[in-house]
Amino acid sequence: MAEKKRYVVTFVDEGVPRAAAAKSLGVPATRLEEGMGLLESAADFDAKKVLLFEEIGTAVATLSDKAAEDLKSSAAVAEVVEDFEVHALGGDDADGCGEATAYLGSVLHPEAYWADETGSQSPAGGHGGVGATEDCPPGHRKVCFKLAPWFPPLCFCLPVAAPPPPRQPVPWNIEMVGANRVWDRVTGAGVKVAVLDTGIDDDHPDLSVFGGASMVPASTSWDDDNGHGTHCAGIIGARHNAVGVVGVAPESRLYAVKVLNSRGTGYLSWILAGMGWAEQNGMDVVSMSLGSNVDAPDAPCTLAYQRAAERLEAAGCITVAAAGNNGRDPDNPWVGNPARCAGFMAVAAVDRNKRLASFSSRGPASLCRECGVEIAAPGVSINSTTRGGGYGLKSGTSMACPHVSGAAALLKELHPTWSPARIRARLRATANDLGLPGNDTSFGSGLLNCHRAVFG
């Protein structure tokens, strides 16, 4: 018996009727299931079922190679591709993804509290008791700083009347893109940002998640079981709360759309379902730190991706994607999928010295302006939130992408009627030029500049 695989079949017509799709695929219409609904549900995934994404004219079916080849010649079919794997585009620095150094000042996340000899604690923002603690002189009290879960607290004797005020450290990457210089005007408040990734830690103290969904079969929770999505979410919207880190748009509304499993891997069909969920639930920004390598400089954009992005744009949502981490491959450093689709704003990665990260995918020059790298953002040794309530460093274009997603949220709050295309153009026009003068294949328009985008 011939081996069968899952194929993504995109029809010529968007909004293809169920009966027409079934006829083209040669299966009973009863075997077609609404793709997003099935993946989001707790139902067991049956390979015999055909997933239909009717709005974008795409179906996912188990077919023999011959059947797939036959469909390619059908007048009703525009594209047939295997339901290929998609991967998270970033990882821990220890994995060798980035040329990174751990900067202690950006790792610490002070949490201050008064401590007394009984072991009780009270927030250092208050005055607590007035008497001296066991090892402090009169008029003083012990204040301890919890720097990180793995460090013992540092304690000092300070005057009771003048406790140190809590202070939010601003990570270097947030300063580099000028986000902290716009928060007196915009913070992303009320803007809905969907993070299509491994999920988001559902009880991280530095993140506020307003909802979500899982498109990973057999998983109904959007809670993060990998850590990648939580890290990306923190770069977008970690709270401005004197603890840990802070994101580009600290008051944006984060939504966790789980499209990658615990290994950081998913499939095209899962991503399409997540994009459909974002459209149906009125997201303003979609952030996608994921992708797949291409095997040729002018490899085509996957049509199903492009149609899903076009529907999001028509609904008023801008879609931002990581350019890819294939820059070290001398034979194949090209921008990957879906970033090379015109409907996605592709983001390259730079380090703290504004140099292009060696892993950052680029080019080729033959790609259209909206198909290649459009803008760059920090993506090396980025400190952000991790699952389990912690913080850590990761590198990749996955880390660069959410900086731009957060910036889009800032502009959306400031200009709620602006179209995705206008927001995208504004971010490009206000970027700081890097590399060759003007737009280039490595940096696009240059380094993201939130201050110029908001005030320029």
pLDDT in tens, 111-136: 444 444 334 444 443 333 333 345 67
pLDDT at 152: 65
Which among 83, 92, 93, 197 is annotated as catalytic?
197
Token digits of residue 262: 């615990």
Token digits of residue 126: 């208050």
Same domain, 301 and 441: yes
pLDDT at 165: 53
Catalytic site includes residue 109? no
Report the side by side order of strands in the sheet with 77-82. Answer: 32-34, 50-53, 58-64, 4-11, 77-82
Same domain, 289 and 432: yes
pLDDT at 76: 94
Residue 164 lies in a domain: no
Is the bond preceding residue 364 a cis peptide, omega within 30 degrees? Answer: yes
Same domain, 402 and 267: yes
Residue 299 lies in a domain: yes
pLDDT at 144: 67
Residue 8, domain extent: 4-83
pLDDT tens-digit series, residues 154-182: 677 766 654 555 668 899 999 999 999 99
pLDDT at 91: 83
For residue 250, which of 204, 183, 199, 200 has the smallest C-alpha distance? 183
- Given a contact cutoff of 8 angstroms between Cβ atoms, the answer to whether 259 and 273 are in contact is yes
pLDDT at 109: 37
Same domain, 418 and 294: yes
Same domain, 265 and 208: yes
Same domain, 93 and 195: yes
Dist. CA 410–CA 46, nearest whole Å: 42
Diameter over CA atoms, the chain: 88
Same domain, 24 and 127: no
Which among 214, 269, 287, 398 is annotated as catalytic?
398
pLDDT at 243: 86
Which among 87, 204, 228, 231 is annotated as catalytic?
228
Same domain, 337 and 200: yes
pLDDT at 274: 97
Catalytic site includes residue 135? no
pLDDT at 432: 98
Compute CA distances 240 → 200, 208, 235, 272, 410, whole Å: 18, 11, 12, 33, 15
Cβ atoms within 10 Å, residue 69: 11
Dist. CA 356–CA 375, nearest whole Å: 12
Dist. CA 281–CA 275, nearest whole Å: 10
Cβ atoms within 10 Å, residue 85: 11
Same domain, 224 and 277: yes
Residue ranges in the chain whose pLDDT is less than 70: 1-2, 42-45, 94-135, 143-154, 158-167
Residue 280 lies in a domain: yes
Same domain, 312 and 445: yes
Residue 106 lies in a domain: no
| Number of structural domains in the chain | 3
Same domain, 271 and 125: no
Enclosing H/E stretch for 23: helix 18-25
Catalytic site includes residue 228? yes
Residue 396 lies in a domain: yes
pLDDT at 120: 41
Residue 197 lies in a domain: yes
Dist. CA 395–CA 373, nearest whole Å: 18
pLDDT at 48: 77
Same domain, 314 and 266: yes
Give, as one character, the DSSP assignment of residue 169.
Answer: P
